[in-house]
Amino acid sequence: MKETPKATNQKVLFNAGSQFLGKVFTVLASFTVVKIVSGFGPGFYGNYVTAYEFLAFFGIIADAGLFTIAVKDMSKNPEKQQEIFGNIFLMRLGLICIVTIIAGLSAQLVPTYSPLVKAGVWITGLSMALTIVAGTMSSILQTRMKIHWFSMSLVLGKIILALLVFLLSRQFIFASTDPAELFFMFLWAGVFSNFIFTVFVFFAAKRELPLTLNFDRKYWIKTLKVSLPFGLALILQTLYLRIDLILISIILGEEPTGIYGVAARILESFLILGVFFAQAITPKITNNDSHETHEKTLNWGLEKLLIVSIPVIIATFWFAPALIDLLTDKSENYLSGPGFFGSDSVIQYLIITVLFAFFNQLFTITLVNKSRQNYLLIVNGLALLTNVILNLILLPKIGIQGAAISTIICELVVFALLTREVARFYNYKFNPLNITIIFGLNLALLLLYLYSPLGDNLLLAAILAPLVYLGTFGMLRKRFL
């Protein structure tokens, strides 16, 4: 029996909600890692961030858009899910092997990278490979709308990582471990935690569908033809989002990379919420329902993203110094001062992009459903070109402030182009009363920060503000469901 739209919406919200809660715990664990590792100084943290950021670009090459295609194909062809997954899984395993080797070799060619980073990239390559394997298996859970198992596994992996990093840092203090040795131990801790994460996802996915490897030549050719432009678009998207850190590490060095990296990690923790929501809604927006149903889904999704993104922007902007102070042990190295653009100022710039990035994720999925991968390729290519040019001009002149400005401009460019293209296929139909309620509640939230003790206490605000804000929407759930 076909589910009602309300039941399907509830499943989407449950999946997105489970991912959100999972991400909250994941963020807390990740912030623990940031606090511990950044405590060894911007230079040490800069090397740590670079080793991971360098792999991010190559990781998306190993995806090549295959995750989205897997969810789309399995949602449309339930009877062929095992066959589709087996083919996609084998493709990604082959790409993982090729890309990991290319990434490790490429890092050795960057003259400004330290020997620590060049060796560390090989280790983070293993972490990347495990993450991609787990992500591929999660396409089964995504299709079955049981992504909460993936979220729980991710949380477990991050908690293990935080515990290992904490224990290793204690060993450094008490046993006078060499900083270089500690650096590699931190990276190996990431490999181990990702291995545990992957094992749990494996067992969750196996309960839903037998995990096999298949080679169907016709399917491979058809899929690669579809995935090539989308995969290239994702590669360019990853580059324009992360090229700032890569260019900072090459042009300005490890300390500015560490300062910018703290803010970038905070932003990344928020941006993943948009990715999770887009993944949760993918089966509904790419299935065989009518155009009208897809249009309603799009508008419903945009409204929910507004509910989440606006308070995140307001709170992060307001509490940026307190947040950086909380996340770093040696805050004087990270907080802004006279003539110094610190991590708190960086995040105040970058947090503005959350709203546009959330919308862009949903727009991307929508355009893939309309087979507009080539357009996405052009948009992301333009964004990358804009970001590189702006960074090359601004970084030598105004430092990491220039990278933050470049990121804002790029997200605005992408948002404008995607909004225009989606409007060719769908009408934007927001409920005026719902929008009024959303902005009214966020205005009240801002006034609370301005004129009440809540604005002076990060911990109190982190507890009470979400309870009041989400509690209000809970009372209005019939209207917003």
Q: Would you state the pLDDT for residue 1? A: 43
Q: If we measure between CA atoms, which residue out of 193, 158, 380 comes closest to residue 272?
A: 158
Q: Would you state the pLDDT for residue 403? A: 92
Q: Would you state the pLDDT for residue 279? A: 64
Three-class DSSP category at 335: coil
Q: What are phi and psi of 337, to 5 degrees?
A: -150, -175
Q: If we measure between CA atoms, which residue out of 322, 266, 309 comes closest to residue 458?
A: 322
β-sheet bridge partners, residue 340: 337
Q: What string of pLDDT tens digits covers the 481 residues of the chain?
A: 444 555 455 555 555 555 556 666 666 677 777 777 777 777 788 888 888 877 776 776 666 667 767 777 777 777 777 888 888 888 888 888 888 888 888 888 888 788 888 888 899 888 888 888 888 888 777 776 677 777 788 888 888 888 888 888 876 655 556 778 888 888 899 899 989 989 988 888 888 778 888 888 887 887 777 777 666 776 777 777 778 888 888 888 878 888 888 888 888 878 877 776 776 666 666 665 677 777 788 888 888 888 888 998 999 999 998 888 887 765 567 888 888 888 899 999 999 999 898 888 888 878 877 778 778 888 888 888 999 999 999 999 999 999 999 999 989 999 999 999 988 888 888 888 888 888 888 898 888 888 888 888 888 888 888 888 877 777 776 766 6
Q: Would you state the pLDDT for residue 69? A: 72
CA distance 37 to 42: 9
Three-class DSSP category at 340: strand
Q: Would you state the pLDDT for residue 350? A: 92
Tell how far CA 198 is from the center of its chain: 18
Q: If we measure between CA atoms, which residue out of 251, 231, 230, 255 comes closest to residue 390?
A: 251
Three-class DSSP category at 352: coil
Q: Would you state the pLDDT for residue 206? A: 84
